[in-house]
A and B are shown apart, each in its own frame.
Chain A
């Protein structure tokens, strides 16, 4: 059967998908935090910059971002390794979504918490570090995981751009096993679900925990 015969190939591709997911998360999450901070900052020009960036990236198809990194940049003389370009495209695209997730998490802390901290005489620094952030971090995690789930699915686009990850392994296996097309692709889907379903469960679990704690 095609799935068991090609287990090493699947695993190699699976690890590549995981690498894309983790590298992008590590880069896009801090960038998203910066964008989120810019969007709630009292400085108008920072707010405007972050908003324009978010609006453009959120309304552009990811394929077009990939084409920018893989075709347009080389034309401009910027030639990057494929893996680097793929992570760059995914990072540019995912950062605004992380920013939205972080913003919604921070907004999820009830205003009363900050008001209470202020009314017992805490300074701005104390209010933020001792009261708001500890609660925000907890409520920020489930939406961040949800963005990671979407990101996992988006890494498949890298398969269309020379990266040998799960989607691309599916294409190769289909070429080599024309008689077992369905099985080969179901195997690929199973590996994706191996990432997305546990992440989804984790998000649900954490979400329930957050609700109970409050």
Chain B
């Protein structure tokens, strides 16, 4: 659209754009350098703040936390996919008595914070560990969103798909599961993968309800070795761990979207947007 708004830039305008680009680029770099320098003056890059990472035990502790994060995310993802299918089925049921309550319950699940759901599960079901409170809240919340995505995927299919299935004698449930869901799942795959990134980020909420995962391990480690001295470097390492994992999955999501020449229908795009935050 940019090129529609103004004429194609001539040689002068191009030079000007490049000069401005250089200047602003330098300003940004200068700001970064200033930040780095300030941190250096405070001694944040000092070897005495980073030497703990020579100790394999430190890495063992952080990796143990990371494994818990990945475990929570993996179990929650599997459960969320299953729940998503169940929710989509119930939401599209031909019986009003099933469809309407499901819609209300799903609206409820999506309208409240996952964190509150974690606390709720933790306290309302005595004996549930923090791990399972986190995992099941994530599964229910993301299941509601994945279910909604699946449903709009099914709605977007040509009617003939279901009719053909019914015509060859499949029962309605079979037509859903064997004909419609696989196609809906495939068109919605980029959204579902993007939702998995959201889920992985949200595992960090476990920190607040007392699950011992990466962030909590990092904090405990910092308490042990000296918070004032080491928390900065431990924080940066934890940040890097989250970024590497999430960027990898995000890139996969983008590749998937690109390969399918994918255009998301508006409703669903907004759904994933509100979830993404």
Name the one of A100, A118, A156 contacting B113, with C-beta atoms under 8 angstroms: A156
Shortest beta-carbon distance, B24 to chain A, in Å?
A: 5
Which B residues are in CB contact (< 8 Å) with A159? 115, 208
Known contacts A100-B273, A142-B270, A171-B119; is-contact A111 B4 (Cβ 8 Å): yes
> Binding site of B, secondary structure by majority: helix, strand, loop or mixed?
helix
Interface pair A203/B270, CB less than 8 Å apart:
yes
Name the one of A67, A72, A185, A203 contacting B120, with C-beta atoms under 8 angstroms: A185
Tally of B interface residues using CB under 8 Å: 57
Q: Flag A142-179 by CB within 8 Å of B: 1 or 0 each.
A: 11001101110110110110000011001100100000
Shortest beta-carbon distance, A89 to chain B, in Å?
A: 13
Interface pair A146/B42, CB less than 8 Å apart:
no
Q: Which of B59-67, B149-157, B174-182, B228-236 makes up part of the contact surface?
A: B228-236
Name the one of B20, B42, B208, B235 contacting A68, with C-beta atoms under 8 angstroms: B235
Which B residues are in CB contact (< 8 Å) with A64? 204, 215, 235, 238-239, 242
Tally of A interface residues using CB under 8 Å: 71
Whether a CB of chain A sits under 8 angstroms from the CB of B33 is no
Which A residues are in CB contact (< 8 Å) with B123? 174, 181, 185
Interface pair A45/B28, CB less than 8 Å apart:
yes
Shortest beta-carbon distance, A93 to chain B, in Å?
A: 8
Name the one of B20, B112, B242 contacting A43, with C-beta atoms under 8 angstroms: B20
Name the one of B2, B9, B242, B270 contacting A61, with C-beta atoms under 8 angstroms: B242
Interchain CA distance A159-B203 in the complex, whole Å: 17
Which B residues are in CB contact (< 8 Å) with A171? 119
Interface pair A75/B277, CB less than 8 Å apart:
no
Interchain CA distance A200-B274 in the complex, whole Å: 10
Name the one of B25, B114, B205, B232 contacting A72, with C-beta atoms under 8 angstroms: B232
The chain A residue sitting closest to B246, CB to CB, is: A59
Whether a CB of chain A sits under 8 angstroms from the CB of B252 is no
Shortest beta-carbon distance, A77 to chain B, in Å?
A: 7
Interface pair B42/A45, CB less than 8 Å apart:
no
Whether a CB of chain B sits under 8 angstroms from the CB of A23 is no
Interface pair A61/B204, CB less than 8 Å apart:
yes
Whether a CB of chain B sits under 8 angstroms from the CB of A101 is yes
Interchain CA distance A189-B141 in the complex, whole Å: 14
Interchain CA distance A79-B213 in the complex, whole Å: 27
Interface pair B124/A147, CB less than 8 Å apart:
no
Whether a CB of chain A sits under 8 angstroms from the CB of B220 is no
Which B residues are in CB contact (< 8 Å) with A167? 113, 115-116, 119
Known contacts A160-B115, A193-B111; is-contact A143 B270 (Cβ 8 Å): yes
The chain A residue sitting closest to B200, CB to CB, is: A61
Whether a CB of chain A sits under 8 angstroms from the CB of B197 is yes
Interface pair A196/B4, CB less than 8 Å apart:
no
Inter-chain contact count A-B, CB under 8 Å?
168
Whether a CB of chain B sits under 8 angstroms from the CB of A137 is no
- Give A42-89 interface residues, CB cut-off 8 Å to B: 42-46, 48-49, 55-56, 58-64, 67-68, 71-72, 75-77
Known contacts A46-B24, A75-B228; is-contact A170 B119 (Cβ 8 Å): yes
Interface pair A59/B247, CB less than 8 Å apart:
yes
Whether a CB of chain B sits under 8 angstroms from the CB of A182 is yes
| A positions within 8 Å CB-CB of B | 40, 42-46, 48-49, 55-56, 58-64, 67-68, 71-72, 75-77, 93-94, 97, 100-101, 104, 106-107, 109, 111, 114-115, 118, 124, 127-128, 132, 142-143, 146-147, 149-151, 153-154, 156-157, 159-160, 166-167, 170-171, 174, 181-182, 185, 188-189, 192-193, 196-197, 200, 203, 207
| B positions within 8 Å CB-CB of A | 1-2, 4-6, 9, 17, 20-22, 24-25, 28, 39, 42, 44, 107-108, 111-116, 119-120, 123-124, 197, 201-205, 207-208, 215, 227-228, 231-232, 235, 238-239, 242-243, 246-247, 250, 266, 269-270, 273-277
Q: What are 6 A-B contacts defined by CB distance under 8 Å? A: A59-B197, A61-B201, A114-B5, A143-B270, A185-B119, A189-B120
